[in-house]
Structure 1
Amino acid sequence: MKIKLNIWLLLGVLLMAAAFSGCDDDDEELNNDPIVVNSVFLQDAESTVPDRPVDFIRLGQVLRLEGSGFTGIRRVFVNGYNTYFNPVYVTDNSMLLQVSRDTPTSEAEEDVRNTIRLVKTGTEKVIPLEIRAAAPSVSRISHTMPLPGESITIYGSGLVEIEKVVFPGDVEVTEGIESDEDGKFVTVTVPDGVSDEGGSLFVLGANGGAYSPAYFNFKGGVILDFDGRGQQGFWSWSETGTMINAEDLESEVIGTGNVSQGNYVAHRPARLESFNPAANRRSEVWTAGNDVDDWRGQLTPYIPATTPVNQVAFQFDVYVPEPWGGTGFLKILLMNNYNGGEWTGFVYNYLPWIVNKEVVPFETTGWTTVTVPFSQFYGFSSTETDFTFEDVLAAREAATYKNFGFFFENSDVTLSNVSGNAADSEVVIESAVFDKNVYTDNWRIVSLERPVYSDFPEEEAAAE
C-alpha cells in the first residue's frame, strides 16, 4: 500500500514539474520575444484628437505604444528615469505609460536623453522620442495695467528661455526679455500700442507657449480710476471724518518702476495723522452707486453673467512704500450695506501681511496688481453652491445702496477668520496705532478665463 501511494505521489510531482516546466518555457519565450514599436500616440481625453500620433511627449502626459512583444516588460526608463507603469494596461500589442513629472529633461545624461527604454528579462528596446518638460503656465502678472515703457514680471512655471511675449493687440516683443533659470518668472518691458480692450498675454519659450488670464490692460472693466473712468461718490464729509472725497485724492508721482497714474486714493488721508487701534471703518472711499454704477451694462458684454465666480475677479493696483504689518487691513465691499468689522457677507478683507499664518510685513517698490476672485468674497465662497457672475450682479442690484468701495479697518484680527481653520480661533493679533500709507488705484472687474494653448496649432485655432 505504501509503495502504491509513493508511486502516485511521484507521478504527481513529475506532472507538476512538467507543468511548471511548460510555464517556464512559455515565460522564457515571452521574455525573449523582440519588442517592436510601430507608433507612439498621445492620449488626451480633452483634446479634439484624443489618440494622436506624436514624435514628442511632455512630462505628465500619457502615451500609448503600439506594436508587439510588450508582454513581459519588467521595467521602463524614460530619459534614464525608472518610470512606474501599470501592467493592467499592457497587452502584447499595446501599452499605456504616464511620463512622470520627476523625469529629468535637459539634466538627463546625454546618452539616455530623449529615449524610452523598455526592458524584459531576455531583451530590451530603446525608442528615440523627444521628451519635453511640462508645458509652461502663467499664474499672475505683477502689474496688469502698466504704462508703456514700464517693466512687468510674469510669474508661473516652466517659463524657460522665453523668446517672445505677445501683448493684446498682437503687439510682439522679442528683445529685452529676461527669463529666470528655474522658469518661475520672466520680465519684459511693456511696448507702445497695447490694446485698451485688453486680453491675455502670450509667452513662448523652450517649453512651449502659455496664456495669462484675459485681464491685461482691460480698460473696459474699470469701475473707478479717479481720473474720469467711473465716478467717485462721497457725502457727510468732515475734516476729521472717515469719508474720503475728491479733495483727499493725491496726484504726486510716486512709486519706483511702476509709477502712479494721475489721481489715486490714500486710505489714510493726509489730513489724518493716524488711526487708533481696536476700531473699524477708519476711512471709506466709494463709487457713486445708485443711478450711476451699471455693472450689468458695462461688464456683461465682455464677461457673460453665466461665468463662474472663480473666473471673475476684482482687481486693483496698490502701493505700500513702508513695511505694513501687524495692524490694519482693507475691507472690499460689494455694496454700501456694512458698518465695519464683518468677516461674512459680500465683502473680502485684504491682509497681505499675514502669510502662512505668520505676520510678514508687506511693502512694494512700485505699484502692483492685486487680484481677488469673487469666489473669495465670503458670501460667494461656499463650494456647495455654483455661484456665477449673475449672483454678483443680482446682489448689487438688490442692495439699497449700490456703492462699491473700501473701508480701512484697524481692529484686532482673529487668525481663524484669515486661515479658515477653527483651530486658530484662539490666536488674536492685537491692533495698534496705524500711521503708514496704503494707496490704491484703477479699480476694475476682470475675467480670469484664458485661451487654451496647444502644441498642435490646428487645435488652438479651433479653440479660438
Structure 2
Amino acid sequence: MKIQKNIWLLLGVLIATMGFYACDDDDDPADSSPITVSAIYLQDAESEVPDREVPFARLGQVIRIEGSGFTGLRKIYVNGYDTYFNPVYVTNNNILLRLSRNTPTIDAEDNVRNTIRLVKTGTEYVYEFEIRAAAPQISKLSHTLPQPGEPLIIYGSGLVEIEKVVFPGNVEVTEGIVSDEDGEFVTVVVPAGLTESGSVYVEGANGGAYSPAYFNFREGIILDFDGNGQQGYWGDAESMIVPEDLKSEVIGTGNISQGTYVPHRPDRIESFGANQNRLTEVWTAGNDVDDWRGQLTPHIPASTPVNQVAFQFDIYVPDAWANTGFLKILLINSYNGGEWSGYTYNYVPWIVEKEVVPFETDGWVTVTIPFSEFYAFSEPEEGESFTFEDVLLARENATYKNFGFYFENSDFTLADVTGNDSDETEFISSETSVDVYTDNWRVVPLEQLVYTDFPAEEETTEE
C-alpha cells in the first residue's frame, strides 16, 4: 500500500519550480501577446508518474497546461464552460487547472466539445483536447456476502453503461447487467464459484471503479450463528438472547437469510416499552474465546487507520421502522445502556440527513460502520490519530471481552446522532414491536483501489 499524498502538496512543489509574473499596467503588451499550447500534463500525486503528458483528461482531475503567453489570462473555457482558475497557479508558461465536475462532456455544443479556450484582453487561443466524464465511483454494495444467484446492487456515481463486473478471483460477468440512467447504481446477479475476497470492479462508458476490498470477506467473521465464532450468554435475565431464541426459517426477498440468525426481539417478547435501554442483548463468547488480533491482523494490519477498518453486519427489517428504537453496538461488555459515548455506536437507520425516513428492507442488506464512527475513536485530539491497534487494545484491556448488540428504546436528541449541539430535535420513544434481524457479524477492510486510465502503472490505495 502506498501512502496517499495530498494533491495540493504536489501543486505547491510544481508552483515553487515556476517563475511568477505580475503586472498592474492595464496596457501591458502581455495582454495581447500570442498564446500557444504545446502539451497538457495530468497532475496526480498518487501516480508513479505525477506529471504525465496525456491525450485526454477527466472531470475532477488537475491538469498542467504547458505553453507560452499565459501572462494576462482572463478566462478559461473548457467545452464552453467558464472554468474557475486561481491566478496564483498561472505563469507565462504553465497553468494548473482543476477540471470542474460541472463541465459538460457529451452534452457540450459540437463547436466547443473537446476544446480548451484561453482568453486574454487582446487575444485568445483554442486548443483541441479530449475531455472525458469523471471516472465512476463505488460508494457501497447492497450486500457483501450474497449467495450465488442473488442480486447485488452497486451504488455510486458515474455508473453509466456498465459493461463488465469483475468479482474477486477474476470472475467476470458481462451479461444481465442493468445500469441506472443517472449512473447512481448498477445491478448484477452474483455468479457461482466465488471463493476469494476483495474488491468488486466495474467498467463502463466512463471508465472503471473498485469497491472497498470487503466483498466476500469471510476471514473477518466473528459470529454468524452457524459455527463461525461462538455466542456467549449467561444468567436468566429476560434481556439475554440465548440459542433457543435464534431463528433459521428462510426470510427475505432477493437476498434471503443464511442459516441461523438473531431476532433482536425474540418471539417471547411481545413488545418493547418506551424509554428503556438494554431491552435485549446478544454477545460473542468473549474472554479466552474471541481472538481478534490472531484472526484479523493477518488480513488487516494493526497499523491501519480506524477509518479504513469497519464492523459490518447483515440486517433484515421486514416492516417500517421509524421514530423509536435503535441498536447499540458494543466493542466490549462494559455498558449498562443509554450511552452515546465510549466504545459503542448507536445505529439509528431511520434518521437520514436529520430527517425521519422509515427504514425497511425487502431482503437482507449489509451495514458498514467504520470504527472511526465508534464514539471513543470519532474525535481524536489535535495531533492524535487512531489505528486498528487502538481497537484491539480496547478489547484486550477490557475485563469482559464480549462484542455485542443491545436493542434500546430510549429518548434522545438529534444532537446525540449528529454530534452537533445545535441539533435540538427530540425523539421521544414509544412502545414498539418492530422486528429487526441481524447476521454475519464481521470486521472488514475498507481499502479501495483507485482506477487509473494508465493500467501499466501500479494502482494505489485511496485513504
C-alpha distance in structure 1 between counterparts of 2:86 and 2:50, whole Å: 20
Within 5 Å, which residues of 2 pair with 1:4-23? none
C-alpha distance in structure 1 between counterparts of 2:279 and 2:172, whole Å: 45
Q: State the Cα distance separating 1:463 from its structure 2 match.
A: 7.0
Cross-structure match for 1:147: 147
Contact 2:452 2:459 (C-alpha < 8 Å) held by counterparts: no
**AA in 2 matched with 1:306:** S
Q: State the Cα distance separating 1:432 from its structure 2 match.
A: 1.2
C-alpha distance in structure 1 between counterparts of 2:32 and 2:393, whole Å: 69
| CA shift in 2, pair 1:278/1:66, >3 Å | closer
| CA shift in 2, pair 1:397/1:181, >3 Å | same
Contact 1:317 1:443 (C-alpha < 8 Å) held by counterparts: yes
Cross-structure match for 1:458: 456
The answer as to 2:181 corresponding to 1:173 is: no
C-alpha distance in structure 1 between counterparts of 2:460 and 2:405, whole Å: 42
C-alpha distance in structure 2 between counterparts of 1:23 and 1:270, whole Å: 82
Gaps of 5+ in 2: 1-24
| SS of equivalent residue, structure 1 residue 325 | coil
| SS of equivalent residue, structure 2 residue 333 | coil
Deviates more, 1:63-72 or 1:367-376: 63-72
Contact 1:71 1:92 (C-alpha < 8 Å) held by counterparts: yes
C-alpha distance in structure 2 between counterparts of 1:32 and 1:378, whole Å: 59
Contact 1:199 1:216 (C-alpha < 8 Å) held by counterparts: yes
| CA shift in 2, pair 1:49/1:278, >3 Å | same
The answer as to 2:216 corresponding to 1:217 is: yes
Cross-structure match for 1:13: none
Q: State the Cα distance separating 1:32 from its structure 2 match.
A: 4.9
C-alpha distance in structure 2 between counterparts of 1:319 and 1:262, whole Å: 14
Cross-structure match for 2:321: 324
| CA shift in 2, pair 1:207/1:285, >3 Å | same
Q: State the Cα distance separating 1:23 from its structure 2 match.
A: 8.7
The answer as to 2:435 corresponding to 1:437 is: yes
Contact 1:42 1:63 (C-alpha < 8 Å) held by counterparts: yes
Structure 1 residues 196-217: Cα deviation after superposition (integer angstroms, max 9, x where no partner): x411111111221111111111
Q: State the Cα distance separating 1:453 from its structure 2 match.
A: 2.1
C-alpha distance in structure 2 between counterparts of 1:355 and 1:342, whole Å: 21
Structure 1 residues 134-190: Cα deviation after superposition (integer angstroms, max 9, x where no partner): 222111111111101111111111111111111111111111111112211111111
Contact 1:237 1:244 (C-alpha < 8 Å) held by counterparts: no
Please, what TM-score do these two structures have when normalized by structure 2? 0.90
Deviates more, 1:89-98 or 1:44-53: 89-98
Q: State the Cα distance separating 1:305 from its structure 2 match.
A: 0.5
| CA shift in 2, pair 1:418/1:91, >3 Å | closer
Cross-structure match for 2:275: 278
| CA shift in 2, pair 1:335/1:32, >3 Å | closer
C-alpha distance in structure 1 between counterparts of 2:26 and 2:439, whole Å: 77
Contact 2:165 2:202 (C-alpha < 8 Å) held by counterparts: yes
| CA shift in 2, pair 1:85/1:276, >3 Å | closer
Deviates more, 1:68-77 or 1:286-295: 68-77
Q: 2:346 pairs with 344, 349, 369, which one?
A: 349
Q: 1:254 pairs with 247, 251, 254, which one?
A: 251
Deviates more, 1:131-140 or 1:353-362: 353-362
Q: State the Cα distance separating 1:462 from its structure 2 match.
A: 7.5
C-alpha distance in structure 2 between counterparts of 1:410 and 1:201, whole Å: 37
The answer as to 2:49 corresponding to 1:49 is: yes
| CA shift in 2, pair 1:453/1:101, >3 Å | same
Q: State the Cα distance separating 1:460 from its structure 2 match.
A: 2.9
Q: State the Cα distance separating 1:72 from its structure 2 match.
A: 4.0
Percent identity between the two aligned chains: 69
Cross-structure match for 1:18: none
Q: State the Cα distance separating 1:297 from its structure 2 match.
A: 0.4
Cross-structure match for 2:21: none
**AA in 2 matched with 1:130:** E
| CA shift in 2, pair 1:285/1:86, >3 Å | closer
Within 5 Å, which residues of 2 pair with 1:94-133? 94-133=94-133
**AA in 2 matched with 1:129:** F
Contact 2:449 2:459 (C-alpha < 8 Å) held by counterparts: no
**AA in 1 matched with 2:52:** R
- Larger Cα-atom Rg: 1
Q: Which has the higher helix share?
A: 1
Contact 2:450 2:459 (C-alpha < 8 Å) held by counterparts: no
C-alpha distance in structure 1 between counterparts of 2:452 and 2:355, whole Å: 40
Q: State the Cα distance separating 1:356 from its structure 2 match.
A: 2.6
C-alpha distance in structure 2 between counterparts of 1:174 and 1:277, whole Å: 51
| CA shift in 2, pair 1:278/1:133, >3 Å | same
Number of aligned positions between the proteins: 436
Cross-structure match for 2:159: 159
Deviates more, 1:170-179 or 1:80-89: 80-89
Gaps of 5+ in 1: 1-21
Please, what TM-score do these two structures have when normalized by structure 1? 0.90
Within 5 Å, which residues of 2 pair with 1:161-310? 161-195=161-195, 197-237=196-236, 241-310=238-307
C-alpha distance in structure 2 between counterparts of 1:210 and 1:435, whole Å: 41
Q: State the Cα distance separating 1:310 from its structure 2 match.
A: 0.9
| SS of equivalent residue, structure 1 residue 125 | strand
| CA shift in 2, pair 1:69/1:364, >3 Å | same
Cross-structure match for 1:77: 77
Q: State the Cα distance separating 1:76 from its structure 2 match.
A: 2.0
